[in-house]
Amino acid sequence: MPNPLPSPIVSSRARLNEFTLTTPDGLSLHGREWAAAKPRAVVGLVHGLGEHGGRYDHVGDCFAEHGVALLSTDLRGHGLSEGRRGHAKSYDLLMGDISQLLETARLRHPNLPCFLYGHSLGGNLALNHIVENKPKLAGAIITAPLLRLAFAPPAWQTRLLKLMKRGGLEIAMPSGLDDKELSRDLNVVRAYRNDPLTHDRVSPSLAVDMVDHGERLLKRAGEIDTPLLLIHGAEDQITSPAATAEFVENLKSEHVFKLWEGLRHEPHNEPERKAVLSFMLRWLDDHS
């Protein structure tokens, strides 16, 4: 069991290293590593729609304090990475980007247990990568995965997005994310709104693909053999806690599911963040 977490959880930035990856289709992806002094495990992080890896600075700092190196690249079309905002031509390209992230993590930390950590859209992507690519992982942490939205978009909007994708009209549209639902911590909401690297854009291809692949995951949960830690805030109004519970019901692999009462969409950014990160670190300890 790890030592108690430092309080408050803030980043000293002293151990933050930045790097760049170049994708096969020529995009530059911005990466960050929160390096532990004596790492015992390494984690590759996949963030959510409209955000970037820099929003996990306190998570990376906390992990590093407890001997876990955390690496993240901003998704294409997000943060400091290249690409049209909120757009990915295909899920195959995103799967390749995650493969590059994990390869980098292993090259920097050979012989250490390697984990994947995905939040929201990143949870959807991480789980799809596990199903499709079957990477060698010690386990995966999945928080608030986008398996289904917690609300039903208007039917006309869904039809329009599908028509636009079919016609190749990749015009970025508002994602509809309500930033007030990210966290009960108003400082988190304010910081998100004032962050020049966040955006509310999503292209028809990415919007349709992420919903379709979420539904697909619900049918393919039984194919997963990677140990999973799943965390979802019970008050999440962005991604569906009920869909995560349905996914868990279909799992055959080792897993822990924590439905956290009172929490909204970003468990790692809620007032209870210390307890959430401690929970993650204990699970990582058990699987390292």
Question: Kind and range of the H or E element at 280?
Answer: helix 273-287
Classified as helix, coil or strand, 96 is helix
Beta strand segments in 217-263, E = 228-233, 255-260
pLDDT at 6: 32
41-46 and 255-260 beta bridge pairing: unpaired
pLDDT at 56: 98
pLDDT at 149: 97
What does the alpha-carbon distance between residue 179 and residue 82 come to, in Å, rounded to a whole number?
Answer: 24
Taking CB atoms within 8 Å and a gap of at least 24, the contacts of 133-136 are 133/95, 133/98, 133/99, 135/99, 135/102
Q: Is 10 exposed, middle or buried (0-12, 13-18, 19+ CB in 10 A)?
A: exposed
Number of Cβ atoms within 10 Å of the Cβ of 182: 26
Signed CA dihedral, 120, 64, 226, 270: sign only:
negative
- What percent helix, strand, coil does the chain show, rounded to 5? 40, 20, 40
User: Could you give the domains of the chain?
Assistant: 16-287 (3.40.50.1820)
Question: Kind and range of the H or E element at 230?
Answer: strand 228-233
Give per-10-residue mean pLDDT for the chain (288 aa). Answer: 34 74 97 96 98 98 97 98 96 98 97 98 98 97 98 85 89 92 98 97 96 97 98 98 98 97 98 98 97
Beta strand segments in 74-170, E = 114-119, 139-143
What does the alpha-carbon distance between residue 112 and residue 126 come to, in Å, rounded to a whole number?
Answer: 19
What does the alpha-carbon distance between residue 185 and residue 188 come to, in Å, rounded to a whole number?
Answer: 5
Provide the token pair at 230: 């799943």
Backbone angles phi, psi at 121, to 5 degrees: -55, -40
Provide the token pair at 68: 């876990």
What does the alpha-carbon distance between residue 285 and residue 229 come to, in Å, rounded to a whole number?
Answer: 12
C-alpha distances in Å from residue 35, one per residue of 14, 66, 212: 9, 11, 36
Are 97 and 82 in contact by the 8 Å Cβ rule? The answer is no
pLDDT at 155: 86
pLDDT at 169: 85
Number of Cβ atoms within 10 Å of the Cβ of 152: 8
What does the alpha-carbon distance between residue 284 and residue 2 come to, in Å, rounded to a whole number?
Answer: 10
pLDDT at 54: 97
